[in-house]
Structure 1
């Protein structure tokens, strides 16, 4: 399910809510969101924007008062996960699984977050379902009540969605382990290679995200309350378990690939061995028939009608003798 806009297509706003502090929120359009001022009845404003729309960078600087380097970070495509505190504001870049059509699990979608405790601004370029999950809770009256809760629920939902991709990869590995190894090994190798690539991609992105979440827990401003820090700590533990699961999946894929390659190598060695045995049997026979086929005078049996059968009998005897010798040498 993709992001869609609640307002006009020519604005950067995807949705906005003025939180009532009780789990619900009032719907705002672009004009209402820009002019909204937090009050005792609506203490927090959350705006979700498309960062590549025209004017977002300038609005962040001129209207919100975000410093130029931070505004550039919030609208940039340099989306490596990170988080830091800037005076009383929390700035973070997080990544989530890309569930858009045609995307692979390791293709991550980034989301930038800025909050000063009374305003939360999230920005994305490509559709991302995680903000919609939190928005649905707000519209049902059971959502976050303050800025810290918005940040923690966004990070928790983003990390939780990674679990499904890990489960899917583990299911694929289990299916491959149950298949007959001789059943289309090339297809199995390709699927295993895809799983390993997905594992490496997830690990490459989730590692920095782990560091970013730790930075949020450690350096967030005072409005990020103690219970928010505990929830972030639980999300960090969950992410660490997911990283361990990815390691297990990656190792399982390596073991399965090694087994397939070992079987293929063993099969090739067996075929080579049998060809060597066959060559060892027919080498003396080829020498004998080649010797008898030379066109020189004095060849024995040329005028005898039984000479062919004598040669055939000698060849058969040679084969029997070689088979006995190979058997005693345990070559067969």
Structure 2
């Protein structure tokens, strides 16, 4: 499921801005990674403490600081102290149940959204998967960009490789472009998710047309539940990107606006795809119900045919099983073979009749 609010009660009665991690602990140890770059130089120093970040303030470069793992609240608190971040923003970073949003302050911007990744389900017959949700917070300052992630993964590895190997746009533009590139990396992960969901829907649809089972219904319901959670994470991104595009902050240059519009277009495509898949799953559920009903109708039709054949035979057997004295056929020497002839002829005639009526 997308979110569990099991830890939210920890904040009950505490004043606003109290820093406490709320959510599932994805990493026991926090890791700080830094990339400091300019047009012609690049540095990836090993950083152990927040204090070591202060030296990058004196450089005319862009510094990207990525904190993976939010359990160590002290690190987030120190970043807030040294870079003058509002306590309510720090509180939102540590509360991993935030709705995607964009907030504008005098000296920095705050963006929070959900990163979605796939975990294959090896036990599924439909190429199934489960979706892993991770809250990612982004702080955009004049020369710094901070990202706060719940777990250590390779989500930003392609972007890091671009920074390492490229002397192009990503190295020549400012922190606003880096913020765009980070957002773009997170949003584009959703296309991978949608491709996997499309394959799963195709597999279920094929199974529905051949041999629908109870497992098929379970697969449809599981996908519907996942899709609801995915849409809950993706839908607010439209409002988030619209707020960024409407913002007149000096931290986002006019040249970078067009790139944020491109991310907005991606979000629209993803939202439309989730709506389309939701309609498809509703149709698949209707097809499943119809398939099961048709299968039951075929079984009932076959049973009805057998019942129709044996009703007249039971009627004849009932008449001659009453043991009345004055039944002349009982004394007839050909009575037994004759009744067997009737028993054989009557079902044959009925079967031919059913065939002509196309009931079989």
- The answer to whether the superposition gives a TM-score over 0.5 is yes
Distance in 2 (alpha carbons) for counterparts of 1:328 and 1:157:
65
Work out which of the residue numbers 42, 66, 69 in structure 1 matches 2:60. 42
Alignment partners' CA distance in 2, 1:123 and 1:221: 22
Using the TM superposition, give the Cα deviation of residue 148 of structure 1 relative to its aligned residue in structure 2, in angstroms.
Answer: 0.7
Correspondence list, 1:89-238, <5 A: 89-99=108-118, 104=129, 106-142=131-167, 143-144=170-171, 145-177=173-205, 181-183=209-211, 185-219=213-247, 221-238=249-266
* CA pair 305-16 structure 1, distance change in 2 beyond 3 A: same
Residue deviations 1:263-307 (CA, integer Å, cap 9, x gap):
332222122122222212211211221232235544444444322
Pair 296,164 (structure 1): closer, same or farther in 2 beyond 3 Å: same
Counterpart-to-counterpart distance in 2, 1:320 and 1:26: 88
2: CA distance between counterparts of 1:126 and 1:93?
15
Describe the SS at the equivalent of 2:209.
coil
In the aligned structure 2, how far is the partner of 1:331 from the partner of 1:178? 28
Compared CA separation, residues 242 and 259, structure 1 to 2 (3 A): same
The more displaced of 288-297 and 45-54 is: 288-297
Question: Is contact 1:109–1:128 with CA below 8 Å preserved after alignment?
Answer: no
**Cα separation, partners in 2 of 1:220 and 1:123, compared to 1, 3 Å:** farther
Query: How far apart, CA to CA, are the structure 2 residues paired with 1:120 and 1:33?
Result: 15
Q: Retained in 2: the 8 A contact 1:21–1:44?
A: no
Sort the Cα spacing of 1:130 and 1:227 in 2 relative to 1 into closer, same or farther, 3 A.
farther
**TM-superposed deviation, 1:220:** 6.1
Q: Where does 1:59-78 land on structure 2 (aligned, <5 Å)?
A: 59-78=78-97
Q: Is the 8 A contact 1:117 1:223 kept in 2?
A: yes
Q: d(CA) in 2 for partners of 1:117 and 1:190?
A: 50
Contact 1:23 1:141 in 2 (8 A): no
Residue 313 of structure 1 is matched in structure 2 by 341
Aligned CA RMSD, in angstroms, stands at 3.1
Written as runs of structure 1 = structure 2, the 5 A alignment for 1:231-250 is 231-250=259-278
Q: Secondary structure at the match of 1:126?
A: coil
Shift, 1:139, TM fit? 2.9
Q: 2 CA distance for matches of 1:23 and 1:273?
A: 79
Structure 1 partner of 2:34: 16
Q: Structure 1 stretch 179-188 or stretch 93-102: which is displaced more?
A: 179-188
Structure 2 stretches of 5 or more lacking a match?
A: 1-26, 122-127
Matched length: 323
